[in-house]
Structure 1
Amino acid sequence: MMKHEFPNLRVILHPLIQHKLTQMRDETTNTERFRRFVREVGQMLAYEVTRDLPTELVEVRTPIATFRSPMIAGKQQCLVSILRAGNGMLDGMLELLPAAKVGHIGLYRDPSTLEPVEYYFKVPSDIAERMVIVCDPMLATGNSAVAAINRLKDHGVTSIKLVCLLAAPEGVRAMLERHPDVTVTVAALDEKLNDHGYIVPGLGDAGDRIFGTR
């Protein structure tokens, strides 16, 4: 964890996460390796964001004795990917949460206004009863994440966490102003946004680098 001005932000400074993130930032990292790093870091961030899941004691019998041991209790999970780049994090997160349901929200950023435009929305019918983890590699302006979470709250969701690889201060500030109840977990808080709305130093366009379309 690192100190910062945002009470809703958790920056995970685990050495393995930082090592893989550095390789993702490298412009010479090819699509195959970049995709693998996104999946692996997504899995490690899922471990961190679920650290506070409630548990309850259940009775189990080991080969030696019967005793009471903790298992996850409370709301079931739903992973919501902000398309398209969020899909790069899904597989790793589902390896840790195989029973989670999955939703998708399709948003693209208008290049002139930097505002999000929705083109797809599909979530489980019982999503209001679940703890939702929204995944999107980049929290830049924050507009897409804010819009996605607005839609989830419109569907009755009350328990939401956001997981990203990188965040810019502008994006975290937008989330704090619009959704102060949502915890943001990231691998790094970068310096700023440039004039085109990209995170600096960042890692480029995550979707292009995941899917090889750059």
Structure 2
Amino acid sequence: MEVTVVHHPLVDHKLTLLRNKHTKQPVFRRLVEELVTLLAYEATRGVRVVDVDIETPVTATRGIQLAQPAPLVVPILRAGLGMLEGMLRLVPSAEVGFLGMIRDEETLEPMTYAERLPNDLSGRQCYVLDPMLATGGSLGGAVQFLVDRGADDITCICLLAAPEGIEKLQGLLADLHVPCKLIVAAVDERLNEVGYIVPGLGDAGDRLYGLAE
């Protein structure tokens, strides 16, 4: 798995604001969208395109456009929804599927509770949105789900990742033999005893949408 940490002053600036526990919820949501757009620019560097002939106001020329089938963006519910608009701002013609993955807080293993995706993903480039790659369970489960449906090229976009999560995802991908890239704003120090990223930014879902009681 190719891991890319996007180094840019604006990425670091927005991430610093997201980490700050005093950043208010509306500002947090807007920052997530803005940061994802910056990460998506790097994530889509390998998006599939085809050559096209067009007419400019001056002459005929040749350009490129996104290939079909369109890229498929898959936010992992619920926190991944906060990243969706930032991604679609850059790739508005992408299609969107949804995958509900939840982590069992005792075993830290993923469970699928909802999905709205094509049954056949053969030939599809998929972009998975999940703010935090912590234990790697949810994101790993999502990647496995997409591969089982035929996806042959997957890019995961996360705000933050922990080394433990990257290692787990790499182990999973070693057995799947499907090209996968991970795009992040930062790789943090470690996980704490309850599976949260340190220093992290807290629970991304709660900070986006409030507490889920």
- Rounded Cα–Cα distance in structure 1 between residues aligned with 2:142 and 2:64: 33
1:11 partner amino acid: V
8 A Cα contact 1:60 1:67, kept in partner? yes
- Rounded Cα–Cα distance in structure 1 between residues aligned with 2:198 and 2:148: 32
SS of residue in 1 equivalent to 2:46 = coil
Give the aligned partner of residue 200 of structure 1.
Answer: 198
Give the aligned partner of residue 50 of structure 1.
Answer: 44
1:154-187 per-residue CA deviation (whole Å, 9 max, x = no partner) reads: 1111111111000000001111111143111100
> Comparing 166-175 with 150-159, which one deviates more in the overlay?
150-159
- Give % identity: 47
8 A Cα contact 1:8 1:176, kept in partner? no
- Rounded Cα–Cα distance in structure 2 between residues aligned with 1:81 and 1:54: 20
8 A Cα contact 2:120 2:149, kept in partner? no
1:86-112 per-residue CA deviation (whole Å, 9 max, x = no partner) reads: 000001111211121111111111111
Structure 2 residue 127 is matched with structure 1 residue 129? no
Give the aligned partner of residue 183 of structure 1.
Answer: 181
> Comparing 144-153 with 27-36, which one deviates more in the overlay?
144-153
Give the aligned partner of residue 149 of structure 2.
Answer: 155
1:75 shift after superposition: 4.5
Q: How many residues align?
A: 208
Q: TM-score, normalised by structure 2?
A: 0.92
- Rounded Cα–Cα distance in structure 2 between residues aligned with 1:153 and 1:55: 22
8 A Cα contact 1:78 1:127, kept in partner? no
SS of residue in 2 equivalent to 1:195 = coil
Give the aligned partner of residue 4 of structure 1.
Answer: none
1:202 shift after superposition: 0.2
2:199 partner amino acid: P
- The 5 Å alignment of 1:88-167 reads 88-167=82-161
1:57 shift after superposition: 2.9
Runs of 4 or more consecutive aligned structure 1 residues displaced over 6 Å after TM superposition? none
SS of residue in 2 equivalent to 1:129 = coil
1:55-80 per-residue CA deviation (whole Å, 9 max, x = no partner) reads: 33322211122111232336420001
Structure 2 residue 58 is matched with structure 1 residue 64? yes
1:125 shift after superposition: 4.1
SS of residue in 2 equivalent to 1:50 = helix
SS of residue in 2 equivalent to 1:128 = coil
- Rounded Cα–Cα distance in structure 2 between residues aligned with 1:78 and 1:53: 11
1:54 shift after superposition: 3.5
> Comparing 111-120 with 77-86, which one deviates more in the overlay?
111-120
> Comparing 45-54 with 170-179, which one deviates more in the overlay?
45-54
8 A Cα contact 2:120 2:150, kept in partner? no
Structure 1: gaps spanning 5 or more residues: 1-6
- Rounded Cα–Cα distance in structure 1 between residues aligned with 2:33 and 2:23: 15
Superposed CA RMSD in Å reads 1.5
Structure 2: gaps spanning 5 or more residues: none
Give the aligned partner of residue 3 of structure 1.
Answer: none
1:19 shift after superposition: 0.7
Indicate which of 35, 59, 62 corresponds to 1:41.
35
1:172-207 per-residue CA deviation (whole Å, 9 max, x = no partner) reads: 111111114311110000000000000000000000
